[in-house]
Each structure stands twice: as structure tokens, then as C-alpha cells.
């Protein structure tokens, strides 16, 4: 991966962007893509996009979601401890003992999710996953009044974990789900901008609030009027202990991006993507969406009478944790694959199931 792209990825992943509080991350993304776009924009809720060749046809949208899982403060005790609710789908079993940032009035307040020392636990009882309302954040406050100087009900919270190299192209960060998808959308636009000319209108998009319910995708699927949508999100990499490939598919880190088949995935679009990967000798992996994809594709494909849509995956270990692991090679290959697909679409081409 080129250094400038890696620097962008690092900044993107280390900028907190919890669902409903994506503005800072969206600004980072827009600043980067503006160099390669003819137009950029955002809407009332913060969905952001960059357009190349705006008068081209068809309009192809490459989408990732810019939000991450997190928490939100809902109660401050008289003793100064902060109680919180989940935003998106974090795992309560992983929350205890973690360092977090409370995002308060434009500043970060460091806190820790309290955990009873092992010496004080009743060891004869089977450990239970805690209820969210039993978890609390300690910011070192003397009492409620002191805590309210640095935190308030409604403040969003994220893990503090940053972006670090594990080995070679393997990196770890919180929020790989799914700012790596917005990274691919941005890189696809960059690569397409370097071509001599493309017939299509290419729209790179970073949506908001996917983790809360695919909300941003519904908005842009309608407002940006795509003729086709390529939705990039992370998928479960099962090449690790405890993972069941028979149940979740045989997906490996670093072995290529994932093409999903079934359900929302438009069969003509999927076939064309597969042919492009084969022609360009890009290794890909296959997975299925038997009933739904669990991504922004589920919201987009239903818009405006039906938008041909395909869900593409980036292998990811330990999803919805502070230590999500990805391989940079998968990001590079997916960006090149989507650029090649875009370059091969002819002016005015439509994707339609033949009956």
C-alpha cells in the first residue's frame, strides 16, 4: 500500500466516529477524497460522498459506512460513576477492564470500565456475561458534581484502541468495521480518477448509522439515485481458533476480498464482478447471504423500485471488538477490483435479470 493511503487509513481509523457522532470521521474522509473528485457533498445527517464524472451513465455507487460501535452515557451516580448503554452491537463480555474515551463538548475524557478484582469474585459461580446496566465507567471523579465537569448524559463513548501493525500487512485497530470500507470507496475513486476516462458516474459514499439500523444507506440510496451499488463491509474471517467454517464459511485473512451471493446480491452484477476478478487475476473468496447481508446493501437494494446491488467483504478477525484485525492486501485488491469493474462498464449500461 502506498504511504499516503496508509497514512489516510491510520487517521481514518483513529478518528472516533460512533454511530450518531460521525462528523469528525466524515471530515477526514471528505478531505481525502476531495483531491480526486469533481464534486463532494454531504446531507442533513452527515452522509458524505464524492463524485467523479457526474454527467456519466450509469451512476455507480461504492459504499462503506463510516460509523463504529460504541456507547452512550445515560446515568451518572452520586458517587461519580458513569453508566451507559450500547450503541450499535458491542459485546458486553469484552467491555470490562477496557479504557474508553467519553466525547464531551469537543474534548476527550479518559475513563475505564470497572471490573471487580478476581480476588473479590465468587469463584464457585460460573462467570456470567454482565448486563449493560451493571457496567460503569470510572473517570476518577470525586462525586457526581465533579464528574459532570467532564461528562454528561448523552455523551458518546468509544474504546481508546488505535491502529497498529501486528506483522507485515496484518494490522489491528478498533473500528475496522467499517471505516476500512469507506477507505476502499475512497481508493476506488482515486484509482478511477487516474484513468484516461470512464463512461460511468462514480460515486464514493461514506454512510452514517449503519450500526444502528442502516439508516444512512436508506437516505443515500434514495437521494443519490444510483443505477447500481457496490457495498463494502467487513466479513468474518474464520481462519482462527474457535471459529466454525462450516457455520460461517471458509474465509481467510489476506486471501482476497469476498464476493457474496444470494439474497440482496444482484445475480447479473455478481457475475460481472466475478468475471472482472478473473480477467484481472485478482484472487477473491466466496460467501453467501442466504436471507440478508447484514450490511447497507439491505437498505439500498430496495430503493426506487430496486437498485442492482452487490455486497463485497473484507476479511476481519474479532469483529465488534477493540482488536479487529485486517490485512492491507485485501483492501488494495478490493480497491483495484472495483476500479477495474467500473472501468469496464459501458455508457448507459444497465444491470437487469432476464426473464
Give catalytic residues, as residue numbers.
210
The answer to whether the bond into 37 is cis (omega within 30° of 0) is: no
320 contacts: CB under 8 Å, gap ≥ 6: 69, 88, 89, 90, 91, 177
Counting every residue, how long is the chain? 355
The answer to whether the bond into 113 is cis (omega within 30° of 0) is: no
Distance CA 104, CA 84 (A): 14
DSSP structural state of residue 130: P
Buried b (16+ CB within 10 A) or exposed e, 287-320: bebeeebebbbbbbbebeeebbbbbbbbbbbbbb
> CA 181, 266, 335: angle at the middle one, nearest 5?
30
Distance CA 102, CA 151 (A): 7
Other beta carbons within 10 angstroms of residue 321's beta carbon come to 21
Amino acid at each position: 500500500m502506498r504511504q499516503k493511503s496508509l497514512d489516510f487509513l491510520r487517521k481514518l481509523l483513529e478518528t472516533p466516529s460512533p454511530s450518531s457522532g460521525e462528523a469528525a470521521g466524515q471530515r477526514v474522509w471528505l478531505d481525502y477524497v476531495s483531491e480526486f473528485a469533481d464534486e463532494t457533498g454531504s446531507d442533513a445527517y452527515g452522509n458524505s460522498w464524492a463524485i467523479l464524472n457526474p454527467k456519466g451513465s450509469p451512476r455507480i455507487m461504492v459504499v462503506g459506512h463510516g460509523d463504529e460501535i460504541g456507547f452512550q452515557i445515560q446515568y451518572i451516580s452520586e458517587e461519580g460513576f458513569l453508566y451507559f448503554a450500547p450503541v450499535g452491537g458491542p459485546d458486553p463480555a469484552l467491555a470490562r477492564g477496557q479504557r474508553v474515551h467519553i466525547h464531551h463538548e469537543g474534548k476527550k475524557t479518559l475513563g475505564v470500565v470497572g471490573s471487580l478484582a478476581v480476588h473479590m469474585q465468587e469463584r464457585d459461580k460460573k462467570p456470567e456475561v454482565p448486563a449493560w446496566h451493571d457496567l460503569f465507567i470510572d473517570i476518577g471523579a470525586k462525586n457526581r458534581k465533579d464528574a459532570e465537569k467532564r461528562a454528561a448524559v448523552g455523551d458518546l463513548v468509544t474504546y481508546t484502541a488505535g491502529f497498529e501493525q501486528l506483522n507485515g500487512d496484518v494490522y489491528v485497530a478498533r473500528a475496522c468495521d467499517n471505516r476500512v470500507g469507506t477507505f476502499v470507496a475512497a481508493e476506488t475513486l482515486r484509482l478511477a480518477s487516474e484513468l484516461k476516462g470512464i463512461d460511468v458516474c462514480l460515486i464514493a459514499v461514506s454512510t452514517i448509522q449503519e450500526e444502528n439500523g442502516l439508516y444512512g444507506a436508506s437516505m443515500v440510496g434514495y437521494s443519490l439515485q444510483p443505477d447500481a451499488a457496490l457495498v463494502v463491509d467487513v466479513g468474518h474471517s474464520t481462519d482462527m481458533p474457535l471459529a466454525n467454517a462450516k457455520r460461517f464459511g471458509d474465509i481467510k485473512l489476506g486471501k482476497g476480498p469476498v464476493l457474496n451471493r444470494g439474497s440482496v446480491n444482484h445475480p447479473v452484477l455478481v457475475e460481472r464482478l466475478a468475471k472482472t476478478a478473473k480477467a484481472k487475476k485478482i484472487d477473491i473468496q466466496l460467501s453467501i447471504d442466504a436471507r440478508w447481508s447484514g450490511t447497507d446493501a439491505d437498505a439500498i437494494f430496495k430503493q426506487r423500485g430496486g437498485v442492482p446491488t452487490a455486497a463485497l467483504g473484507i476479511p476481519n478477525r474479532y469483529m465488534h471488538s477493540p482488536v479487529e484485525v485486517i490485512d492491507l492486501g485485501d483492501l488494495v485488491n478490493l480497491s483495484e477490483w472495483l476500479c477495474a469493474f467500473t472501468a469496464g462498464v459501458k455508457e448507459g449500461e444497465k444491470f437487469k435479470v432476464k426473464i
